[in-house]
Chain A
Amino acid sequence: MLAIEAAGLAKTYGGAFGSPGHRALRGVDLTVEQGTAFGLIGPNGAGKTTFVKAILGIVNPSGGTLRLLGGDPADPRIRARVGYLPERLQLPPSWDAAEVLRSTARLKRQRRAGPAIQRLLEEVGLAADARRRVGTYSKGMRQRLGLACALLGQPELLILDEPTDGLDPMARVEARNLLAREVARGATLFINSHLLAETERVCTRIGILVEGKVVREGELEALQRSGNRWTLRFGDGVSSELLLAAGFTQAPGAGSWTFEGEAAGLNAALDRARAAGALLVGLEQETKDLEQVLADAVGDGP
């Protein structure tokens, strides 16, 4: 079953009095399977936050179709199954954390939420500060409280906009563990973040949005594979001329060589090198980090 199903989703802001307006989304097609950890990345202004807001009904799409957990996102019964953390979180400054969570529970139609609230406060590390006014919290504490609000009621779909923004390194690790537990529970995780290293650690599928369109989408590992580029290491005693003649290119670093080509070509080159006495001691397909994947996608454009 699909957690998110967007087809041709479009959003144009403004456009009054004959002006064309700003096209934030230009027909986004995206599906997210239930139970996956999906990361949406893209450069600033790509339309990521607009997409998140559109799937939650916070902005009204200009076109396209959208289904959330198999139903209409406008249906409150569907939204009751979704947890959301906005990008610029604002909480009532004069309330304490327990009050914020109790109000959230009421609005999420959760009855007898007391034990769940206590457990969440402990999980996000705010149990000791539960009676303090939220206005006195640090940014990281507010973010953790926002995360607790999103997690309340064990939602089937978690939509988190910059979830680790403002958290210190230790809190980030805790948040990652918390999210991993949610995925293990069966929840679908949809993260929109510009913190690519964090996204890489949490998500297994990635979508790249550029200028309002999804330009890449797939398994993280598949996107990170750089294609047919391999790094090899050979044992000592083999001459560079021989390896160059076999088809390898010397790479920076002692004993490192690269090969670009299909697997069959690689094997043929290896056969030639081994016939000349070379001993292969290391082989791996080169991968790119998410930053490079994004840079390539942005370079290719929509």
Chain B
Amino acid sequence: MTLAIALDILREARSRRWIIALWGLSTLALVVVALGLRLEVVDGALAATRLFGSTLRTDVRAVDVALRPLYLAVSYIVFYGGALLGIVATADFAPTLLAPGRIEQLLARPVRRWEVLAGTFLGVEALVLAGAAYGGAGVAALLYLKTGILNPGPVVAALGVAVAFAPVYAAMLLSVVVARSAALSGGAGLLLLAAGLVAGQRTPLAELFHEGASRAVFLGLTALLPRLSAIATIGARLAEAQPVSAGPAAALVAGTLAFAFGLLAVAIARFERKDY
């Protein structure tokens, strides 16, 4: 039943003009960049590179080295752009599903309550992953065609969006279960994304606080939050051909998903007791 509800979410997304428009705009942006980008790679492995007509750096360097700043920027754009678009595009899915007249029909069917939220979560995650992968893979393919260098950074950033979006959407679902509002849902998503950025930079930001209680409170609070900007950094490091340790990266992903499932469990517990 979870899968059936997830498929319904995807079907609903497919039939919404707003989602189709976002998809079309992403495609248009890719096409414009593909046709209009003045990115010139001269003479193979050692090259000077120009982006939008301006020389990136004056030195003649290896192409992949010269392109690293570009891939770094693209990775961050895919990550944060994908997360923001995801919040905007999916903010009203759960409020629509839980609308009076629709939720009664759903709950009267042979569906367990937890399956309604789990299916919604799964469907939205699949939608965001598909959207981010489309954008990330599109940019990676486009730059490959332009430069001959295949860099996985944008694709990894797209996968990072799907991971980072899990706690964001869990927070959005929890807010909808408490009060059915698309605006509140979007706000909750943005708030968690912002908190995740702060948590990802908690060590340097802690330096801004006086040593002692205030710093300890800041570190204590941010220790509980998913470090979303750290996930973005993984994609960026890969784009820059920097080494990424598998262990800490896996722990980061596991921690983020654990936070997401924790929030989802709270949302389900609240939903189980709620009257419609």
Which residues of chain A have a CB within 8 Å of any CB of chain B? 13, 53, 56-60, 76-77, 79-80, 82, 84, 86-92, 94-95, 99, 103-104, 106-109, 146, 149, 159
Contacts and interface: CB of A to CB of B under 8 A. Distances in A.
Interface string B1-42: 100110110011001110000000000000000000000000
Contacts of B100: 88, 90
A108 B108 CA distance: 10
A58 B99 contact: no
B276 A59 contact: yes
Contact of A108 (B11, B12, B110): B110
Contact of B275 (A60, A103, A107): A60
B99 A90 contact: yes
23 contacts: A13-B275, A53-B276, A57-B108, A58-B107, A58-B108, A58-B275, A58-B276, A59-B275, A76-B112, A79-B109, A82-B108, A84-B108, A86-B104, A86-B105, A90-B100, A90-B101, A90-B102, A92-B12, A103-B11, A106-B7, A106-B8, A107-B111, A159-B108
A109 B101 contact: no
A62 B1 CA distance: 28
Nearest to A50: B275
A90 B103 CA distance: 9
Given A59-B275, A86-B101, A91-B102, A107 B15 contact: no
B109 A107 contact: yes
Nearest to A13: B275
A107 B1 contact: yes
B54 to A, nearest CB: 45
Main secondary structure on chain B at its contact with chain A? Answer: helix
Contacts, number: 83
Given A76-B110, A79-B110, A80-B110, A53 B104 contact: yes
B273 interface: yes
B12 A94 contact: yes
Contacts of B96: 92
Interface string B85-120: 000000000001001111111111111100000000
A109 B276 CA distance: 23
B69 to A, nearest CB: 42
A12 to B, nearest CB: 11
**Max count, chain A CB within 10 A of own CB: residue among B4, B7, B103:** B4
Contacts of A77: 110
Contacts of A99: 11, 15
Contacts of A95: 11-12, 15
Contacts of B107: 56-58
Question: Which among B4, B12, B103, B110 has the highest number of chain A CB atoms within 10 Å?
Answer: B110
B105 A84 contact: yes
Contacts of A146: 105
B105 to A, nearest CB: 6
B110 to A, nearest CB: 4
Nearest to B7: A106
A230 B22 CA distance: 73
Contacts of B4: 103, 106-107
Contacts of B108: 56-58, 79, 82, 84, 86, 159
Contact of A89 (B8, B12, B16, B101): B101
Given A84-B108, A106-B4, A106-B8, 7 more contacts: A53-B104, A76-B111, A76-B112, A90-B101, A90-B102, A95-B15, A103-B8
Instruction: Give the top 5 A-B pairs by smallest Cβ distance, nearest first.
Output: A90-B101, A76-B110, A94-B15, A84-B108, A59-B275
Most B CB contacts (10 A, CB to CB) among A13, A106, A149 go to A106
Nearest to A76: B110
A91 B103 CA distance: 10
A82 B1 CA distance: 17
Interface in B223-276: 273, 275-276
